[in-house]
Structure 1
Amino acid sequence: MKWISPRQLNRLGMLNMNQRNVGYIGKYNDRRMFPLVDNKLKTKLLATEYEVTTPKLLQVITQQHEISHFRERADALEGFAIKPAKGSGGKGILVILRREGDSYIKASGAAITVGTLERHLSNILAGLYSLGGAPDVAIVEDLIQSAPSLAKYSFQGVPDIRIVVFQGYPVMAMLRLATKASDGKANLHQGAVGVGLDIATGRGLNAVQYNRPVLLHPDNGLALGHIVIEAWKTMLLMASRCYEATGLGYMGVDLVVDAQQGPLLLELNARPGLAIQMANGRGLRPRLQKVEALRKPHYSPEKRVEYAMAEFGYL
């Protein structure tokens, strides 16, 4: 990618880290609300009150002695995901696709035993993956079966959609695709591909990997310029409703499209990163300022989504 000077970045309206931290996170996010989004279990329970669907909760493990019960329930499970409630950046998430005899098959294809699963649960409770190393809770969720139209673009892992929401308005979005380099995780810092999405239509724009433009997925060779997200307006509405649910003015909303259930909320982030700007090829700042300048804010998610689709689309 061609080097871009600070002046050029400023002209593109790029939001920098200090501006994000002070002008938006610090100004619009009440820190008392952070525990709602830093804990996946609390997020899941809260989201259901605001018509935001999440993956089915199968089990919650809060104490070490409860791990023995997991073995009993695991016998009846085919595919599932184990997550630390307070984990971040995808750390500690273990996805099991299926069982083969006494073995559990991970997304990578590796086979592990139930003993390995129990040790992983024990590590989660001990805080190995939590923010600050605090004791944690393990949640077991139903396996997400990604919609085929998106699954084909991702390497092993489930692709997800990050939507930045400001004052309830979805202002920018991107699709994150797992790669071999990212170890099957949709984490841009580990080498996943980010595809900017048109807020108006859900269509793919330009794509980046390691902040460099790409046209094809590095592992499957598929062109990234023809991606269209299913049920796009539904996803925008779900993201917008998270504003009422949390009261956070500036956040990232992460969703997936399940083959059977449609859009599902994965998690919320009170400190969303800025790489979404590179994926979209333009900055957040002008859109944020436009929302700040509104004399009469829209009070329903439906109206906010209509405004965002009209104002921030690329057509």
Structure 2
Amino acid sequence: MDWISPRQLKRLGMLNMNRRNVDYIARYNERSSYPLVDNKLKTKLAVSEYGVKTPRLLQVVRQQHEISGFRTMAEDLTGFAIKPAKGSGGKGITVITGRDGDDFIKASGARIPVANLERHLTNILAGLYSLAGTPDVAIIENLVQSVPSLAKYSFQGVPDIRIVVFQGYPVMAMLRLATTDSDGKANLHQGAVGVGLDIGTGRSLNAVQFNRPITLHPDTGLPLENIQIDAWPDMLEMAARCYEATGLGYMGVDLVVDAQEGPLLLELNARPGLAIQMANGCGLLPRLKNIEALKRPHFSPKERAAYSMKSFGRL
């Protein structure tokens, strides 16, 4: 994989944080839309009206007394995910992948008693993981089982796909792979691997970890070139549809590909990070300006996805 230095990226139109905040987030994102994307439960309800599927909701815990119902609900379950509705950066998310007697098993193989999970729910309600430390709601979702073609590249965690959507157009994408450093979470700041994806084809481009180029996954040892995301046009259309659902002009759309359900929306982000440019080996600015210059925007999500594939594809 060819590597492009940060200095070269700047010449290629790299978007910096100040410009992102002022020219795109502040300009195109209405403040009234933020509570919708900063709350995973509200997001699920909003996007469902626009045909965007999310992991199946098993339980919502809003009050302390409702925690007692969790033990009953989880009695016959072997896998699920507990998430704070207003958490960010993967904080507070606990993923259970198995069971051994009365104990649950995390993706890392660690055992966790049900009492510990109940304590975790209490911490979520208290706002330990929420953006502003305010009281929160816990949601329990069905466990996502990644398609084997992608799961093999990730280490003890479900790989996801981040797509930056601007004015309803998917403009840049990357595959995020969990590592030992990231503790099984697909979070680049914690050490997950970012693999740039060609918007035109869904094929892998460059790969980075901690903003440094790599060619092999640090844990699985698998090469990160020639990865292909199946049903790529459908995923881009799904991401584009989130524009109608939220009205946000600039956002990150995080998708997973479930082995049974197909593409699912995990969450939306009104302030997506900029490391996606390093993973792609090119800057966002030329693509954002391309969309801003359109005299006749495309009205349907499918048309916008098709335009992006044609205009920004590299392979």
TM-score by length of 1: 0.98
Q: Tell me the alpha carbon deviations over residues 132-162 of structure 1, each in whole angstroms, 9 at most, x when there is no partner.
A: 1000000000000000000000000000000
Residue 175 (structure 2) pairs with residue 175 (structure 1)? yes
Residue 107 (structure 2) pairs with residue 142 (structure 1)? no
Match of 1:292 in 2: 292
Match of 1:194 in 2: 194
Shift of 1:61: 0.3
Match of 1:278 in 2: 278
Secondary structure of 2:233's aligned partner: helix
- Structure 2: give runs of 5+ residues left out of the alignment: none
Secondary structure of 1:50's aligned partner: coil
Q: Tell me the alpha carbon deviations over residues 215-264 of structure 1, each in whole angstroms, 9 at most, x when there is no partner.
A: 00001110000110111111101100000000000000000000111100
Residue 113 (structure 2) pairs with residue 108 (structure 1)? no
- The size of the alignment, in residue pairs, is 313
Q: Tell me the alpha carbon deviations over residues 117-146 of structure 1, each in whole angstroms, 9 at most, x when there is no partner.
A: 100000000000000100000000000000
Secondary structure of 1:182's aligned partner: coil
Are 2:82 and 2:140, in contact at CA under 8 Å, matched by a contact in 1?
Answer: yes
Q: Distance in 2 between matches of 1:111 and 1:298?
A: 50
Computed over aligned residues only, the root mean square deviation of the Cα atoms, in angstroms, reads 1.0
Q: Distance in 2 between matches of 1:21 and 1:56?
A: 33
1:233 corresponds to which letter in structure 2?
P
Shift of 1:102: 0.6
| Matches for 1:227-306 after TM superposition, within 5 Å | 227-306=227-306
Q: Distance in 2 between matches of 1:2 and 1:33?
A: 36
Shift of 1:9: 3.6
1:140 corresponds to which letter in structure 2?
I
Q: Tell me the alpha carbon deviations over residues 139-194 of structure 1, each in whole angstroms, 9 at most, x when there is no partner.
A: 00000000000000000000000000000000000000000111111110111100
2:253 corresponds to which letter in structure 1?
V
| Matches for 1:57-76 after TM superposition, within 5 Å | 57-76=57-76
Secondary structure of 2:109's aligned partner: coil
Shift in alpha-carbon separation, 1:296–1:3, aligned structure 2, 3 A:
closer
Shift of 1:2: 8.1
2:244 corresponds to which letter in structure 1?
E
Match of 1:221 in 2: 221
Residue 95 (structure 2) pairs with residue 95 (structure 1)? yes
Q: Percent identity, please.
A: 75
Match of 1:124 in 2: 124
Match of 2:208 in 1: 208
Are 2:233 and 2:306, in contact at CA under 8 Å, matched by a contact in 1?
Answer: no
Q: Which runs of 4+ in 1 moved over 6 A?
A: none
